[in-house]
Structure formats: structure tokens, C-alpha cells
Amino acid sequence: MAISPENEHPVKAFGWAARDSSGHLSPFKFSRRATGEKDVNFKILYCGICHSDLHSAKNEWGITSYPIVPGHEIVGVVTEVGSKVTKFKVGDKVGVGCLVGSCHSCANCKDDLENYCPKMILTYGAKYYDGTTTYGGYSDIMVSDEYFVIKIPDNLPLDGGAPLLCAGITVYSPLKYYGLDKTGMHLGVVGLGGLGHMAVKFAKAMGLKVTVISTSPNKKKEAMEHLGADGFLISRNTEEIQSAMGTMDGIIDTVSAVHALLPLIGLLKTNGKLVIVGAPEKPHELPAMPLLMGRKIVGGSCIGGIKETQEMIDFAAKHNIVADIEVIPMDYVNTAMERLLKADVKYRFVIDIANSLKPF
């Protein structure tokens, strides 16, 4: 796909980048492409820190090309639009999530599933159509094709809304696709971190009964009193797990470390669905017999398409759903990464880009 900037001169930008597998981030100058005829240029106000930012900065998936500017939970205010942009105007509140490009012609793209396009272009660390590297939201400005820009409703706070662009859609999409969004259903949520707490909030807004499944007994009060979960199971407590066997219509498993799936499958009713959205580095062990004996399904899901992401944001605004966040300045990002590694955050770090990212 050809890109035809109306102003050929690239735009100077600055942010923070990792330059090697230590993952340490430091100030970095780079260029954004000029605003093309279908592009939206916006001033970044906030950017959430996703666990994949940490994986990418440290090259834990083996695909990182340095230098890398992370960040795909990006929100801000439009400062310029191309001449053929129809959906946005200067001053609009907008966001960009995990994707900035796709082929627009494959079966997945035609079904509004750009997130499964074989040629999808990630928001950072990828090659854009013009051969340039994509840089993420730990920076001052963003330029994106309007197709991949999300409209943020005025009543949705930008700081707490930023993590919805990854964590929010990652749990919303499987709830919808797997039919786990019907009032009165019983949903299990494994893990109470950035993804897990969003799953609880969306499921409760959909009218579901929600039980949190966690290794940490000290999260019970938080889960039930603050997030509104209806039940809490300690995954290592065999008596608790046994008492809940066969009671759940579905489970959203957000844990990104290897753990036993057999007890989770046992919690499902006949025809129940265990949906994995966490990505452990090593494969899970999956026993066949418990699946056969209850016609149960183990599935997966990865973020969502642009149409569904907009739907999710609008749903969140309607139901006052935002992430629980800790807002940090840009120069705290390396400490935040260390804390994220230890799961020491409730439940998402968000960088206050506008007030703390200084030119250098």
C-alpha cells in the first residue's frame, strides 16, 4: 500500500527507547512520517504499560529489533488530519492500540478481524508499508492511518481509558466471541492482574456471576469488595476447587505463566469453554479425557479488530469502565518495569506523557 504524505518532510519526535536486551529505556530522538492524506496526527497524553512492552524491551520473544519505543495503549488529542480523513477532526480525543496496519484484502480483514491478518502491522517494533520502523506510545506524538484510530468518548477518562486499548479488548473480545456475555452466566477469571481485573469489570457489566481464581489469598478482599466479584477460589486449595467443580459456563485465563489446566477444565459445566489469553513462554499440558467427557473447549483469543475495539470503548464509556491505574512520570518507567516483573502494581501503570516527557 503506497503512502503519499501531503508534506514530504518527516516530523521530529522524541520518546524513550530500549537499545539492547537489558530492556533499559532512555531518551531517544526519532522521526514520524509526515501526516498523509488519510493520516491522523495526535499529541500523546497518556500511554499504558503492557506486559508485552516488557517482553519486547528485553527481547524475550526473540523478535525485537533495536532501538524499540514501546507502548500500544496510546491516547491523546488530534492536532492535524490529512485531507481525506473523514472520521476525525482537530481536538478530538483518540487512541491507538496494538495495530497500525493490515492488508485490508484478506478474509480476516474483510471480517473486521485485522488482528488476525497475516500482514498486520504492530504499533511498535514492526515495518510499516514504507519500510520505516513503527514506534510506540512512549513518545510525544503519534501518526496513524485513520482506519486504526479509535474515537474516545468524552466521558471516558483518558488515563484510565488508555489500558482498554490492549487489556480491555483482550478480555472483551473472547467474552463476545465465545458467547460468554449472557446475563446470569457464571464466569471464572484466572489471575487478577491487568487483564484479570478488566475481565471482572466487563463481565459484571454484562450481568454475569464472576468468580476470581487466584494463587493469592490476599487478593480476595480486593476482588470481591472493590471489583465486585461474586466469588473467590484459591487455586492451590483443592477443597475450594472441588466444591466448585462443574459450575462455570466459561473461564477467561489471563495468567502468563505455565500452570495446571486440568483443575480449570474441571470447574466447567458440560459444553464449557476455557479461553486462554495469557501467553506463557512454555507450552501448557492439555489432557484430552476431561475435554471428551464434558464436550468442553479450550480456545484462545488475541486482542480484537478495530470495529470491535471501538465497540468495546463505547461499552466501557456507557458502563463507566476504566482500568485501575497508577499514573507515573516518564522517568519512572524503568522502575515501573521492575515492579511489573514482580506484579507490584494495581493494576496498570500509565505514563503521564504530556506532563512528564521532556524535550532533550
| Residue 196 to residue 209: CA distance in whole angstroms | 15
Across residues 236-244, what is the average pLDDT? Answer: 94
The overall average pLDDT reported for the chain is: 95
- By mean pLDDT, which of 92-96, 128-132, 347-351 is the weakest? 128-132
Query: What DSSP letter does each residue of 27-83 carry, written as one string?
Result: EEEEEEPP-BTTEEEEEEEEEE--HHHHHHHTTTTS---SSB-----EEEEEEEE-T
Rg (CA), the chain: 20
Judged by average pLDDT, the poorest of 14-18, 262-266, 279-283, 348-352 is 279-283
| Predicted pLDDT of residue 62 | 87
Report whether 326 contacts 349 (CB < 8 A). yes
Is pLDDT above 80 for 99?
yes
Q: Which amino acid is present at 251?
A: I
Alpha-carbon 263 to chain mean position: 27
What single-letter DSSP state applies at residue 183? T
pLDDT at 72 over 70: yes
**For residues 214-227, average pLDDT:** 94
Question: 343 falls in which pLDDT band (50, 70, 90)?
Answer: confident
* pTM given for the model: 0.94
Residue whose entry in the numeric block shows the C-alpha cell 492524506: 37
Contact 255, 284 (CB under 8 A): no
**How confident is residue 4, by pLDDT bands cut at 50, 70 and 90?**
very low
Local confidence band at 306 (pLDDT 50, 70, 90 cut-offs): very high
pLDDT at 185 over 80: yes
Please enumerate in sequence order all residues whose Cβ is within 8 A of that of 351, keeping only pairs 6 or more positions apart, or say none.
Answer: 46, 47, 48, 49, 71, 138, 327, 328, 329, 330, 333, 357
Percent of the chain with pLDDT over 70: 98
Q: What whole-number distance in Å separates Cα of residue 122 and Cα of residue 115?
A: 9
pLDDT of residue 8: 67
**CB 351, CB 328: distance < 8 Å:** yes
Kind and range of the H or E run holding 213:
strand 209-214
pLDDT surpasses 50 at 3:
no
Q: What is the pLDDT of residues 152-180, one digit of tens each?
A: 999 999 999 999 999 999 999 999 999 99
Closest to 74 (Cα-Cα) out of 113, 105, 31, 41? 41
**Contact, 282 vs 256, CB < 8 A?**
no
pLDDT of amino acid 271:
98
> pLDDT band at 2, cuts 50/70/90?
very low
pLDDT digits (tens, 9 = 90+) for 18-65: 999 999 999 999 999 999 999 999 999 999 999 999 999 999 888 999
Q: To the nearest 10°, the Cα dihedral for 242, 247, 249, 255?
A: -30
Choice between 3 and 346, residue whose per-residue pLDDT is larger: 346
Cβ density class 160-177: b for 16+ within 10 Å, e for less: bbbbbbbbbbbbbbbbbb
Mean pLDDT within 79-83: 97
Strand partners, 160: none
Give residue 5's pLDDT. 46
Q: Is 320 left (phi over 0), alpha (psi -120 to 50) or beta?
A: left
**What would the pLDDT profile of 246-281 be if each residue is shown by its tens digit?**
999 999 999 988 899 999 999 999 999 999 999 887
Please give the grid coordinates belonging to residue 24. 533499559
- Mean pLDDT of all residues in 108-132: 96
Pure H helices in 249-288: 262-267
pLDDT digit string (tens) for 100-112?
Answer: 999 999 999 999 9
Q: What torsion, rounded to 10 degrees, do the Cα atoms 322, 324, 330, 336 define? A: -140
338: Cβ contacts below 8 Å, ≥ 6 apart: none
Split at pLDDT 50, 70, 90, the class of 288 is very high
Report the amino acid identity of residue 149.
V
How confident is residue 1, by pLDDT bands cut at 50, 70 and 90?
very low
